[in-house]
Amino acid sequence: MKAYHRGNNHSEKIISLTFDDGPTEFTLRILTILEKNSAKATFFCIGRQIENYPEILEITHQSGHLIGNHTFHHSSKNGFYSTEKIIDEIVSTNQLIGEKINVTTKIFRPPFGVTNPHIAKALNKTQHNVIGWDIRSLDTVINDEKKLLNRITGQIKPGSIILMHDTSDKTANVLEQLFVFLQKENYKVVPLNELLKIDVYEN
């Protein structure tokens, strides 16, 4: 299965920020920090969370960020689902996103980054681009903000795709510090369509 893990640009200092598992009540603070730094990011949203926070999805979209599909239930059993069940998870989430913000998203990130032949078959059917990452922040695992920041900055290179989660204030704190580093190092944050030169939405 083809998946994108980073951009091909090995000279230009551009990277992408991605936030998984929202929308949540923590998303708004992330949006404020992105806005302050004139950066556009990509949010891989869970259907169930969109049902809980539809207005936050709308604000994220209206602020110029991209929306990707991250399944409807984000089940820990996702890796054991049949092809049909995975298709249902993806299609129902795409439909909900379409209802709320009137776009058809073509990018998908599998929960926990897990892929298998069923998921590959499902994606072949739904025709989504699979988006991975080359820097996993571990922001849901590591509690020390300084350690988290160093983990990310130590791995950044041109073309990097950083995985974070808009599910805690800790991530927002680290994001503020990350922007200080990016500015110092002359890195520019661009949305995934620019980094990967792909269409994120169906025309």
Q: Which residues bind Zn ion (CB under 5 A)?
A: 20-21, 111
Report the alpha-carbon distance of residue 136 to residue 146 in Å, rounded: 15
Q: Are 147 and 2 contacting, i.e. CB atoms less than 8 angstroms apart? A: no
**Is 20 part of the annotated catalytic residue set?**
yes
**78 versus 187: smaller Cβ distance to Zn ion:** 78
Residue 138 Cβ, how far from Zn ion at the closest point, in Å?
13
For the bound state, the minimum distance from the C-beta of residue 21 to Zn ion, rounded and expressed in Å, comes to: 4
Radius of gyration over alpha carbons of the chain, in Å? 16
Q: Which of 44, 6, 1 is nearest to 197 (CA)?
A: 6
Nearer to Zn ion, 40 or 109 (CB): 109
Judged by beta carbon, residue 114 or residue 180, the one nearer Zn ion is 114
Q: Smaller CB distance to Zn ion: residue 18 or 160?
A: 18
| CA–CA separation, 153 and 203 (whole Å) | 35
- The catalytic position among 70, 165, 166, 169 is 165
**Which of the residues 20, 21, 139, 166 is marked catalytic?**
20
Nearest approach, Cβ of 113 to Zn ion (angstroms)? 8
In whole angstroms, the minimum distance from the beta carbon of 143 to Zn ion comes to: 19
Indicate the residue whose CB is closest to Zn ion: 20
Nearer to Zn ion, 23 or 111 (CB): 111
Distance CA 62, CA 188 (A): 21
User: Minimal distance in Å, beta carbon 111 to Zn ion?
Assistant: 5
Catalytic residue IDs = 20, 165
